[in-house]
Chains A and B, each alone.
Chain A
Amino acid sequence: MNYHWDWGIFFKSTGVGSEIYLNWFVSGLGWTIAVALAGWAIALLLGSVLGVMRTLPGKLLPTIATTYVELFRNVPLLVQLFIWYFLVPDLLPTPLEMWFKQGISPAASAYLSVVVCLGLFTAARVCEQVRTGIQALPRGQNNAALAMGFSTAQTYRFVLLPQAFRIIIPPLTSEFLNIFKNSSVASLIGLMELLAQTKQTAEFSANIFEAFTLATLIYFVLNMSLMGFMAWVEKRVRIPGMMGGSK
Chain B
Amino acid sequence: MALDFSQIIPALPGLADGMLLTLKLLVMAVGGGVVLGTLLALARLSDNLLLSRLAKWYVNYFRSIPLLLVISWFYLVVPMVLSWITGDLTPVGAFTSCLVAFVMFEAAYFSEIVRAGIQSISRGQINAAYALGMTYSQAMRLVILPQAFRKMMPLLLQQSIILFQDTSLVYAVGLMDFLNTARSKGDVVGLPHEFLLFAGAVYFVISFGASQWVKRLQKRFAV
Contact = CB atoms under 8 A, between A and B. Distances in A.
B130 interface: no
A205 interface: no
A45 interface: no
Given A76-B168, A184-B68, A198-B69, A1 B207 contact: no
22 contacts: A1-B83, A71-B204, A74-B165, A74-B203, A74-B208, A74-B211, A76-B203, A78-B168, A78-B171, A78-B179, A80-B200, A82-B196, A83-B197, A87-B196, A184-B68, A187-B172, A188-B172, A195-B66, A195-B68, A208-B77, A219-B69, A220-B65
A188 B72 CA distance: 11
Interface string A1-31: 1010000000000000000000000000000
Interface string B67-98: 11100110011001001100000000000000
Given A70-B208, A74-B203, A86-B193, A181 B168 contact: no
A220 B64 CA distance: 6
A150 to B, nearest CB: 35
Interface in B111-132: none
Contact of B196 (A70, A79, A202, A215): A79
Contacts of B68: 184-185, 187-188, 195
A99 interface: no
Interface in B165-182: 165-166, 168-169, 171-172, 179
B192 interface: yes
Contacts of A224: 64
A198 B168 CA distance: 21
Nearest to A221: B64
A75 interface: yes
The bracket for how many chain B residues form the interface is 20 to 34
A212 B192 contact: no
A241 B43 CA distance: 38
Nearest to B84: A1
Contacts of A90: 1, 193
B44 interface: no
B185 interface: no
Q: Which of B66, B67, B171 has the most CB of A within 10 A?
A: B66
Contact of A79 (B61, B200, B211): B200
B151 interface: no
A132 interface: no
Would you list the 3 A-B pairs with minimal beta carbon distance, nearest first?
A74-B207, A76-B165, A223-B64
B11 interface: no
Contacts of A208: 73, 76-77, 80
Contact of B66 (A1, A181, A209): A181
A238 interface: no
A69 to B, nearest CB: 11
B23 interface: no
B2 to A, nearest CB: 11
Contacts of B193: 86-87, 90
A104 to B, nearest CB: 21
Given A83-B200, A86-B192, A212 B66 contact: no
A156 to B, nearest CB: 28
A145 interface: no
Given A70-B208, A74-B208, A82-B196, A219 B83 contact: no
A202 B196 CA distance: 31
A147 interface: no
A91 B1 CA distance: 7
